[in-house]
């Protein structure tokens, strides 16, 4: 079993962004979505009976093809592309927190192709050895440790970087306008997320992740610009 958790479980990151099971009971997500994901993580850890192998993946800021159905919740890249095509500029939220300049809010943006690579890797690397015991066929699983894992790049980048990469994918110079963040989300907004990826690497995952620039360029040039919806 491989299921989707979320970096939203970390709230403001007061306990860091480490996927240690010990801190899950202490996390304080900022919204109902994050709360629901954290409640399922806690439920999973409390079960006595599990699948032979399971992994909960704390997705960080995922972007990439086929997110158009998410409407308002689609990535900033998707919305930026459409704003550029319509108005030639992109609107980003101003910072309302000391220590962060406008557009310099930091998130760990991960390309959906990397998310899929990890999901497939988890499924393919659980050893399945069949044997006959007392006349019955049994299957033995492991050696990957069942656990909750972070799934980001391990490198926080700014929304300014994200939008500049979107403009670059269109071969245009950036034009960014800053607007006030709606008051109803200001106290629920994460200004920094960065996945600790040590646990997944220790489990044996070694493939390099897309850089922000390469991932956005692939998404913009080969999907958004081509109206490639599937």
CATH number at residue 208: 3.40.50.720
CA–CA distance, 142 with 113 (Å, rounded to integer)? 25
Is residue 229, in this structure, part of any structural domain at all? no
| Domain of 132, in residue numbers | 2-224
Q: What is the mean pLDDT of the chain?
A: 92
Which residue in the list 3, 10, 17, 33 is annotated as catalytic?
33
CA–CA distance, 125 with 145 (Å, rounded to integer)? 11
Q: What is the pLDDT of residue 230?
A: 67
Considering only CA atoms, which of 80, 94, 90, 79 is closest in space to residue 180? 94
Tally of domains within the chain: 1
- Tell me how far the alpha carbon of residue 56 is from its chain's centroid: 12
Which residue in the list 3, 70, 85, 201 is annotated as catalytic?
70
Confidence of residue 142 (pLDDT cuts 50, 70, 90): low
Active-site residue flag, 85: no
Is residue 135, in this structure, part of any structural domain at all? yes
Active-site residue flag, 42: no
Q: What is the pLDDT of residue 128?
A: 55
pLDDT score of 64 more than 60: yes
Considering only CA atoms, which of 210, 51, 19, 32 is closest in space to residue 141? 51
pLDDT digits 0-9 by tens, 42-57: 999 999 998 888 999 9
Q: What is the pLDDT of residue 228?
A: 74
């Amino acid at each position: 079993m491989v299921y989707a958790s979320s970096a939203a479980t970390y709230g403001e990151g007061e306990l860091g962004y480490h996927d240690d099971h010990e801190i899950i009971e202490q996390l304080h997500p900022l919204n109902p979505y994050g709360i629901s994901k954290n409640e399922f993580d806690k439920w999973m850890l409390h079960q006595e009976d599990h699948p032979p192998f399971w992994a909960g993946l704390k997705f960080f800021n995922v972007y990439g093809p086929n997110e158009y159905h998410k409407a308002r919740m689609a990535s900033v890249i998707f919305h930026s592309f459409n704003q550029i095509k319509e108005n030639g500029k992109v609107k980003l939220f101003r910072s309302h927190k000391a220590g962060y300049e406008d557009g310099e809010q930091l998130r760990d943006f991960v390309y959906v192709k990397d998310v899929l690579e990890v999901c497939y890797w988890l499924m393919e690397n659980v050893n399945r050895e069949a044997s006959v015991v007392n006349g019955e066929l049994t299957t033995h699983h492991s050696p990957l440790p069942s656990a909750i894992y972070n799934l980001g790049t391990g490198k926080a980048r700014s929304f300014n970087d994200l939008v500049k990469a979107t403009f670059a994918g269109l071969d245009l110079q950036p034009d960014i306008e800053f607007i006030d963040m709606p008051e109803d989300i200001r106290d629920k907004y994460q200004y920094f997320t960065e996945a600790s990826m040590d646990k997944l690497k220790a489990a044996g995952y070694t493939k390099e992740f897309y850089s922000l620039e390469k991932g956005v360029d692939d998404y913009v040039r080969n999907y958004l610009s081509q109206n490639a919806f599937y």
